[in-house]
């Protein structure tokens, strides 16, 4: 195999020290505690080759996690895998290592395809593939929406060994890029399969399954076994080995979980109070809509807080820039929609604030899972209005824990009312003038794609946008017309 060219994302996994496979394997994981007997096994004991064992060691993967121990041996035997494990369990290395070992033994281009529900997760998986495969010369390509089609076509023309993609953009290349075919594909991975299907990728995945070989190995990894995932399993896997590490969808024991009961009209003021009181913490603030993510980031910046937004209607280059600034410490507050809640390994997040109550327990677990990772402690605060109490009770019942009330200084909150109201008016004016909150300004609104199937960011069908992820219908608002061109 030839040496790898420049990858889409440099290997920063060892620098962060928190790659997928080094995350907590179970809700009760504590790195200082004695490891369970199963984790006394090494990667070599699982049958991983010396070259890949060295790669694991260089990335700081000392011991395999539970999902890796259960799934890697049957995968190396050539069996299909359906893996059920919660976020942060080390799923990426669990499917990457067997693929790389098979690739080492039988090198060929377009060897494996990994499908991911969001662009950020696709880049993260590609980073780990590149890092683990650096010693054996693996070439990978990341194919997602929001990026230039031509440069991706050039990357595909170099015949990479592994493609990591979102379904919509991959289908566009299969239909429109001359010479690109997956007829020789040996491995298919569907990561976060429940999320892929939640986002209505089902019809596109069906099309992809029709143009790849039926004789292949398939790995399907999901946090939960929904009816849609079960149907996908029957359609795409051949006598799979089922691996289930954690049947209960839960939060880790090192996470302190709080709620803050408040009137709906006072949400912005209480958020500013929390940002001020906990300013020494790096934090992610989750909102339900793009508009709120953009608006709150402007309000916080105007009041002197280093905040940056992340949502699916930003251009892909801006999304990656926001994520990298937050990861590097250039900004200590990330205001994000659920595009940041799934699978992303962001090191050293001290606090998660749910500005909007998540619509279901699964989303709550994913959101708060951005902190208290790899045995570290963390804190979450969920803002609960008079309309959210029932949802709070459902989440508590699901995770099997009662959240504690977070105390605030009511007088200090009241003092902030006028300041927040003024900043909110200024933010509304800024968004109206710039057209942000959607694709980003006049140029963002005007750059409609000309090819069939392409929208404002050049990819209509790459559906990891926040209208779908937030679970709310698109509606017109006075701040942005960008939504008109995304469908």
Q: Find out whether 175 and 208 touch, Cβ atoms under 8 Å.
A: no
Look at 88-97, 223-232, 252-261 and tell me which has the smallest mean pLDDT: 223-232
SS3 235: helix
Query: Residue 401 belongs to what H/E stretch?
Result: none
Distance between CA 120 and CA 310 in Å, rounded? 11
> Judging by DSSP bridges, how do beta strands 351-354 and 241-244 pair with one another?
unpaired
Domains of the chain in start order, with CATH, are 13-244 (3.40.50.300), 255-434 (3.40.50.300)
Look at 11-15, 50-54, 250-254, 349-353 and tell me which has the smallest mean pLDDT: 11-15
Question: How many other β-carbons are positioned within 10 Å of the β-carbon of residue 471?
Answer: 14
Whether the per-residue pLDDT at 221 is higher than 60: the answer is yes
Whether the per-residue pLDDT at 470 is higher than 70: the answer is no
Whether the per-residue pLDDT at 18 is higher than 50: the answer is no
Q: Find out whether 437 and 431 touch, Cβ atoms under 8 Å.
A: yes
pLDDT tens digits for 283-304?
999 999 999 999 999 999 999 9
pLDDT tens digits for 363-383?
898 889 888 776 678 999 999
> For residue 1, what pLDDT is reported?
52
- Cα Dmax for the chain: 68
């Amino acid at each position: 195999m030839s040496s790898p060219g420049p990858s889409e994302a440099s290997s920063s996994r060892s620098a962060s020290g928190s790659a997928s496979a080094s995350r907590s394997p179970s809700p009760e994981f504590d790195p200082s505690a004695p490891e369970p007997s199963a984790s006394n096994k090494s990667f070599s004991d699982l049958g991983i080759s010396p070259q890949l064992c060295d790669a694991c060691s260089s990335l700081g993967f000392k011991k395999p996690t539970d999902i890796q121990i259960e799934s890697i041996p049957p995968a190396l035997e050539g069996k299909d895998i359906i893996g059920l494990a919660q976020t942060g369990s080390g799923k990426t290395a669990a499917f990457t290592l067997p693929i790389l070992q098979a690739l080492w033994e039988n090198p060929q281009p377009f060897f494996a395809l990994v499908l991911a529900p969001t662009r950020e997760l696709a880049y993260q998986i590609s980073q780990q593939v590149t890092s683990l495969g650096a010693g054996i010369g693996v070439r990978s390509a990341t194919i997602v929406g929001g990026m230039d089609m031509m440069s991706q076509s050039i990357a595909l023309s170099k015949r990479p060994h592994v493609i990591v993609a979102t379904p919509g953009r991959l289908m566009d290349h299969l239909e429109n890029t001359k010479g690109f075919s997956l007829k020789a594909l040996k491995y298919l991975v569907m990561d976060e399969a429940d999320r892929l299907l939640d986002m209505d990728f089902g019809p596109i995945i069906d099309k992809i399954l029709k143009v790849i070989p039926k004789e292949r190995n398939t790995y399907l990894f999901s946090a939960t076994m929904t009816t849609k995932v079960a149907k996908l399993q029957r359609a795409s896997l051949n006598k799979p080995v089922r691996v289930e590490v954690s049947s209960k969808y839960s939060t880790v024991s090192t996470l302190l979980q709080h709620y803050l009961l408040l009137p709906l009209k006072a949400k912005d003021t209480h958020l500013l109070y929390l940002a001020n009181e906990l300013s020494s913490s790096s934090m992610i603030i989750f909102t339900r809509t793009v508009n709120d993510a953009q608006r709150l980031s402007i309000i916080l910046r105007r009041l002197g807080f280093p905040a940056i937004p992340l949502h699916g209607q930003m251009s892909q280059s801006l999304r990656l820039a926001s994520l990298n600034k937050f990861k590097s410490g250039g900004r200590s507050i990330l205001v994000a929609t659920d595009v940041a809640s799934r699978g992303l390994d962001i090191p050293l997040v001290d606090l998660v604030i749910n500005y909007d109550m998540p619509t279901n327990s699964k989303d709550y677990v994913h959101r708060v899972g951005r902190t208290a990772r790899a045995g570290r402690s963390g804190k979450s605060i969920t803002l609960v209005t008079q309309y959210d109490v029932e949802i709070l009770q459902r989440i508590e019942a699901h995770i099997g824990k009662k959240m504690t009330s977070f105390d605030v200084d009511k007088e200090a909150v009241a003092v902030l009312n006028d300041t927040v109201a003024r900043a909110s008016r200024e933010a509304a004016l800024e968004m109206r003038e710039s057209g942000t909150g959607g694709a980003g300004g006049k140029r963002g609104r005007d750059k409609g794609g000309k090819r069939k199937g392409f929208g404002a960011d050049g990819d209509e069908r790459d559906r990891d946008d926040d209208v779908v992820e937030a679970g709310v219908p698109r509606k017109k608002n006075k701040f942005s017309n960008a939504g008109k061109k995304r469908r």
